[in-house]
Amino acid sequence: MSQTITENMEEVRQIQPTPKRFGLALDKFITFAAVIALFIIFSIVAKNFFTLRSVLSLLLQTSAVTIMGIGVTFAIITGGIDLSIGSVIALSGTIAVMVAIAGVPIWISMIIGLLVGGLCGLINGLMITGLKLPPFIATLGMMMVARGVALTITNANAWPAPEGFGNLGNGAIFGTGPQFPGIAYPVLMMIAVAILFSFILSKTRIGRYTYAVGSNEEAARLSGIKVNRVKIIAYIISGLLAGLVGIILASRMVTSQPNSADGYELNAIASAVIGGTSLMGGVGTVAGTVIGSFIIGILSVGLTMAGANYFLQKIVIGLVVIGAVTIDQLKVRRK
């Protein structure tokens, strides 16, 4: 067949398999450079910012936002959103604690907490694909329901968890005493989650389908991709990672906190958006979200250490979200 067609065309061109893409590499470099620049600025402005202790604490504080940001990145790339993250964190954390209090071994209760997160994600996915609800509405409903369930089962009280429940959130490895407290488990989990889900998104079939569904849902369906299944998986990932953050936070506080993590979903969405994920779907990376959450993390830790109050932090982070998306829009328009 190829010969017939070639005969009638004069030219056969040599095609470069991949182009030299300075442009794109530069974009990523700039975002990364922003993190470094912020870091350097705060090292100068804030005393004690550039110390091992504060870097370790920065990593620990940022781990929660990063993990849930990675989860919501999947939902956003399919063209959706997950507003239920904060409530799902509270629900899976409280259920894990309550189950542990009831005498279930701690590691099993934590797995149950994780599964509760995944189940919430599954329900979100089913509402979006089965009932055809807009993701905003489905996850808004889940946000309220999950919070309500968390408050109900705890009677709105903070119940102390059994001994040993706090190890996951407060433990560390390689610690050598007060000089070097070690790398906290949540930080290790953040690194593992980032590597695993970056791989899934960029190198596996489900990752490819996630982009395809977000880029053009109908084209994906007509290519035989089971669009509903892909969306459900994306919301399960978002729910599971919220569940993971839920047990980490419950473990750090060693109590069930039904009111915790209120509004965290917005930080997660912000970190994805700062990292270049498009709310229109089809665009985004795990690496971008990690960078985005670190920009938020460095800003809040840095501003605190530089003596700025909490309200100023809110203002600055809000401006960064607006600025990052503005730059993205300008790039699109320039093309």
Binding interface with other proteins (CB under 8 A): 1-2, 4-6, 8-9, 12-13, 15-19, 203-206, 208-209, 211-212, 215-216, 218-226, 282-283
Judging by beta carbons within 10 Å of its beta carbon (0-12, 13-18, 19+), is residue 237 exposed, middle or buried?
A: buried
10 to 5, 7, 17, 58, 312: CA distances (angstroms): 10, 7, 22, 62, 65
Nearer to other proteins, 50 or 199 (CB): 199
Judging by beta carbons within 10 Å of its beta carbon (0-12, 13-18, 19+), is residue 51 exposed, middle or buried?
A: exposed
Least distance CB 149 / other proteins (angstroms): 34
Least distance CB 7 / other proteins (angstroms): 9
Nearer to other proteins, 42 or 197 (CB): 197
Nearer to other proteins, 66 or 198 (CB): 198
Report d(CA 28, CA 118) in Å as an integer. Answer: 31
Nearer to other proteins, 222 or 319 (CB): 222
Least distance CB 132 / other proteins (angstroms): 16
Least distance CB 2 / other proteins (angstroms): 4
Least distance CB 282 / other proteins (angstroms): 5
Q: Which of 122, 62, 116, 119 is nearest to 94 (CA)?
A: 116
Nearer to other proteins, 103 or 218 (CB): 218
Nearer to other proteins, 207 or 258 (CB): 207
Least distance CB 272 / other proteins (angstroms): 17
Specify which residues 160 forms β-bridges with: 255
Length of the chain as a residue count: 335
How many other CB atoms are there within 10 angstroms of residue 169's CB atom?
Answer: 21
